[in-house]
Amino acid sequence: MNLKGQTTLPKPAPRQVDPQVLAHEIVERLTYRIGKNATAAKPHDWLHAVILAIRDRVIDAWIASTEKTYEQQGRRVYYLSLEFLIGRLMRDAASNMEMLDDMQAALSSLGVDIDIIAALEPDAALGNGGLGRLAACFMESMATVDVPAYGYGIRYVNGMFRQEISDGWQVELPETWLTHGNPWEFERREASYEIGFGGRVDPSENEDASQHQMRWRPAERVIATPYDTPIAGWRGKRVNTLRLWEAQPIDPILLDRFNAGDHLGALTESNRAEALTRVLYPADSSPAGQELRLRQEYFFSSASLQDIVRRHIQYFGDIRTLPDKAAIQLNDTHPAVAVAELMRILLDNHGVDFDEAWDITRRTFSYTNHTLLPEALESWPVPLFERLLPRHMQIVYAVNSRLLGEARRSGQFDDRAIGAISLIDEGGERRVRMGNLAFAGSHSVNGVSALHTELMKETVFADFHRLYPARINNKTNGVTFRRWLMQCNHGLFELVREAIGDRFMDDPEALRELDRFADDSAFQEKFLAVKRANKVALADLLRQRVNARIDPSALFDIQIKRIHEYKRQLLNIIEAVSLYDQIRSHPEKDWVPRVKLFGGKAAPSYHNAKLIIKLAGDVARAVNHDPAVQGLLKVQFVPNYNVSLAEMMIPAADLSEQISTAGMEASGTGNMKFAVNGALTIGTLDGANVEMRDHVGEENIVIFGLTAAQVNERRAHGYDPREVIGQSRELGQALDAIASGVFSPDDPGRYRDLVQGIYDHDWFMVAADFDSYSAAQRRVDGIWHDQALWASKAIHNVARMGWFSSDRTIREYATDIWKVPV
Ligand SMILES: *Cc1c(COP(=O)(O)O)cnc(C)c1O
């Protein structure tokens, strides 16, 4: 019904998609929305006009999806994530709305190059790495497989920092992705909520309130205002909403204070509110201890929960049916405080009794664990938590006493195990354990690869797993093939279509039909030609960006991911040093020309990670200027790794480096993107590499190094890196060269401590895996010498990676956890 009480309203006529209509619409948008004619329009204006034309189609499908969701009255999925690493949206939306070719034709009829304006769109970089990119792939796949879903997160004004390299060192600069406005988002002021912090808790004034009903009187309040971005699934089947919250001061109060002459106070408060959503914590698998981070977590969890509950009450009336209508997925522990927030809403706002509230909560939430690294398991000091969230602290205590009572009564837990299950870490400074809160408050807890899930049962959640043996399950990660094959690798996409038809576009597992072309020499030739074209394009980009000259006929060996010691960029660099040494000592051998490319950001406070970036640059300088290895070895660090750079580098890779210490990478998703783009993987049996080996076949992947079990065993039996180094001449020489300043003559001691760490403890088993890694690299050389064999293996990789589509992952979540039909 509309405002006049009419029930039938005119709907917009269906839009045509053809180049002429589109060209007309673009010019129309340029004129009336941007206020320029074609002569005055700058490239950014064209981009804006194009996005507006695409957006109209997306909106039609968005509204239709919303109407369908309301009619179906089924369960909706809410994906809560502090990070969404989206990248650019223009090509993605146009391609999913099946208008990319027509758009390209329309633009060329207007004399505009789509590639040039596409490159102007800023990356929405609201995430650090894999966890945030997974959330973005999931949003696209949920729309594709027709799951009614909302993503909830924070609209950071500055997303992930922009990385520049100055004199070899990482420099962090703010990423100003909103400078030219964001045509994809819609501000929804009418759906704002108040978020409280601090203050005190009083007993409820309600006469017949239960013993658990309280009234929280926060001392501080901010407003959460949502911005909605439509996310279109493949073929525009469904368009879901990504709702990102922005913090604003409570206006009327501020205005009063401002008018009363307290200008400074009013401004401070306004700045405080806005600071909440200004920055994304640039931390990778390490807790940001700052109070601001906890405030961000509560801010977006509370806003999202209030929104979900408001919507539920509006459509279904009864809060008790929430679990039948809502499935809330927690992407890691960052939104875990939502468990306590829902309890608070149920107890204090809806008067639900404690047991029922806990039952509703557990049936509503599910939690995805992303890391086993002990230093990355989030916890907050009790005094901080209590000061910021006094009511939630009470709820955590109440839940804990119930949880530990249940564990004690089961009779299978000693004091140590009870201590491990507790929501409060009592060892030393008391802390609230967010992983335990998320586990206790969910009906499902999943890992992100088969290996990681098994390790979760044996390590962090071993005692929880005994108490609730049915709760832990696995959902191996995936990536969206629309972005990571069809859009980023147009050449391969067209070649595959030509060979096996279009079915794989709707069913990635149909890529399997490519298997029969793996040994077809004509197909191999075309396949290698596509790879070569992608390498030429990357070489051009690197010439423009970093003035590097790289030869597209060399083997492109690429490691791009966050810089972290467990991911072992250092192992790769040490091997490069050793290879450099071997080539110089044995110039007569038949060396494979290699270009080693590195990219990735280091957390600003992570000293060793930043030093590893500097080392890559130092080694590059020495190697690239040495005529003795010219044409055989090149090393290059590529600055500012982000989604758009990944889209250029991955299609150009011959070799994908996935070499983390076994047991430490929960899944990895970069590994999947490379393989589906026809790179061979050199990797350890870690994370999803294990399942990739099972799918592509062990003859089509190069595996080396200790297994997770062997890593444990070595550590348990007193691993001695010195002994290992003593037995490997190549390793010893490479380490000595680095430690003694061969690559850093300007500061010979620069890497002394870094190398000393390998001698002293080698937490990440670099020395233990070195020889095995180096031998694996020579096996890679052997395969490369036989280009037909290489092509065959690479084609098998493309053919057999279909299972790693995030559509498959989302179907598993939908069926096993959310119980929504797909
Ligand atoms: C896929 C992706 C990642 C994750 O890479 P891993 O190798 O799995 O760590 C990180 N950053 C970006 C930009 C990505 O596209």
Question: Residue 822 falls within a domain, yes or no?
Answer: no
Closest CA to 53 of 184, 239, 237: 184
Residue 561 CA to ligand 1 center (angstroms) comes to: 5
pLDDT of 561 higher than 50? yes
**Domain termination residue (choose one: 442, 476, 510):** 476
Core vs surface per residue 146-177: b (16+ CB within 10 A) or e: bbbbbbbbbbbbbbbbbbebeebebebeebeb
Which pLDDT score is estimated for 1? Answer: 45
Question: Residue 678 falls within a domain, yes or no?
Answer: yes
Q: Is 672 in the pocket of ligand 1 (CB under 6 A)?
A: no
Query: pLDDT tens-digit profile of 522-535?
Result: 999 999 999 999 99
Residue 447 CA to ligand 1 center (angstroms) comes to: 18
Whether residues 501 and 422 share a domain: the answer is: no
Nearest protein CA to atom 7 of ligand 1, as residue: 670
Start-to-end CA distance of the chain, whole Å, equals 31
Least confident of 242-251, 774-783, 807-816: 242-251
Whether residues 467 and 503 share a domain: the answer is: no
Active-site annotation holds for 431 = no
pLDDT of 569 higher than 60? yes
Query: pLDDT tens-digit profile of 434-481?
Result: 999 999 999 999 999 999 999 999 999 999 999 999 999 999 999 999
Residue 32 CA to ligand 1 center (angstroms) comes to: 40
Rounded to an integer, what distance in angstroms lies between the CA atom of residue 86 and that of residue 709? 35
pLDDT of 260 higher than 90? no
Rounded to an integer, what distance in angstroms lies between the CA atom of residue 126 and that of residue 145? 24
Which region, left, alpha or beta, applies to residue 98 given φ > 0 means left and ψ of -120 to 50 means alpha? left
Whether residues 649 and 746 share a domain: the answer is: yes
Query: pLDDT tens-digit profile of 304-322?
Result: 999 999 999 999 999 999 9
Nearest protein CA to atom 1 of ligand 1, as residue: 670
Q: Is 477 in the pocket of ligand 1 (CB under 6 A)?
A: no
Query: pLDDT tens-digit profile of 150-196?
Result: 999 999 999 899 999 999 999 999 988 999 999 999 999 999 999 99
Residues in the chain: 822
Which pLDDT score is estimated for 12? Answer: 72
Whether residues 547 and 428 share a domain: the answer is: no
Q: Are 326 and 75 in contact (CB under 8 A)?
A: yes
- Band (pLDDT 50/70/90 cuts) for residue 604 is very high
Question: Residue 550 falls within a domain, yes or no?
Answer: yes
Whether residues 536 and 618 share a domain: the answer is: yes
Which pLDDT score is estimated for 5? Answer: 59
pTM: predicted TM-score of the whole model, two decimal places: 0.96
pLDDT of 4 higher than 60? no
Which pLDDT score is estimated for 445? Answer: 98
Active-site annotation holds for 673 = yes
- Band (pLDDT 50/70/90 cuts) for residue 13 is confident
For all residues of the chain together, what is the average pLDDT?
A: 95
| Catalytic-labelled residue, pool 162, 391, 526, 561 | 561
Question: Residue 267 falls within a domain, yes or no?
Answer: yes
Whether residues 364 and 233 share a domain: the answer is: yes
Residue range(s) defining the domain that contains residue 761 = 495-804
Whether residues 753 and 678 share a domain: the answer is: yes
Whether residues 499 and 430 share a domain: the answer is: no
Mean pLDDT over 283-307 rounds to 87
Mean pLDDT over 381-395 rounds to 97
Rounded to an integer, what distance in angstroms lies between the CA atom of residue 37 and that of residue 610? 48
Percent of the chain with pLDDT over 70: 96
Core vs surface per residue 21-37: b (16+ CB within 10 A) or e: ebbebbbebbeeebeee
Neighbouring CB atoms inside 10 A of 385's CB total 23
Question: Residue 4 falls within a domain, yes or no?
Answer: no
Residue 557, classed as helix, strand or coil, is: strand
pLDDT of 339 higher than 80? yes
Question: Residue 116 falls within a domain, yes or no?
Answer: no
Rounded to an integer, what distance in angstroms lies between the CA atom of residue 601 and that of residue 170? 8
Which pLDDT score is estimated for 267? Answer: 66
* Total structural domains within the chain: 2
Whether residues 173 and 260 share a domain: the answer is: yes
Q: Kindly state the helix (H) or strand (E) to which residue 785 belongs, with its residue range.
A: helix 766-785
Mean pLDDT over 335-357 rounds to 97
Whether residues 596 and 725 share a domain: the answer is: yes
Maximal C-alpha separation, the chain: 91
**Domain termination residue (choose one: 447, 476, 505):** 476
Mean pLDDT over 523-549 rounds to 97
Question: Residue 159 falls within a domain, yes or no?
Answer: yes
Whether residues 261 and 170 share a domain: the answer is: yes
Residue 425, classed as helix, strand or coil, is: strand
pLDDT of 719 higher than 50? yes
Mean pLDDT over 517-545 rounds to 98
Q: Are 577 and 612 in contact (CB under 8 A)?
A: no
pLDDT of 325 higher than 50? yes
Which pLDDT score is estimated for 154? Answer: 98
Nearest protein CA to atom 15 of ligand 1, as residue: 643
Cα torsion through 561, 567, 568, 569, rounded to 10: 0
Active-site annotation holds for 531 = no
Rounded to an integer, what distance in angstroms lies between the CA atom of residue 769 and that of residue 567? 13
Whether residues 233 and 309 share a domain: the answer is: yes
Active-site annotation holds for 634 = no
User: Which tokens hold the place of 376?
Assistant: 């990355």
DSSP 123: P
Bridge partners of residue 635, in order along the sequence: 596
Helix, strand, coil share (%) of the chain residues, nearest 5: 55, 15, 30
Radius of gyration of the chain (CA): 27
Question: Residue 11 falls within a domain, yes or no?
Answer: no
In CATH, what number is assigned to the domain containing residue 155? 3.40.50.2000
CB neighbour class for 285 (10 Å; exposed up to 12, middle 13-18, buried from 19)? buried
More confident residue, 159 or 637: 637
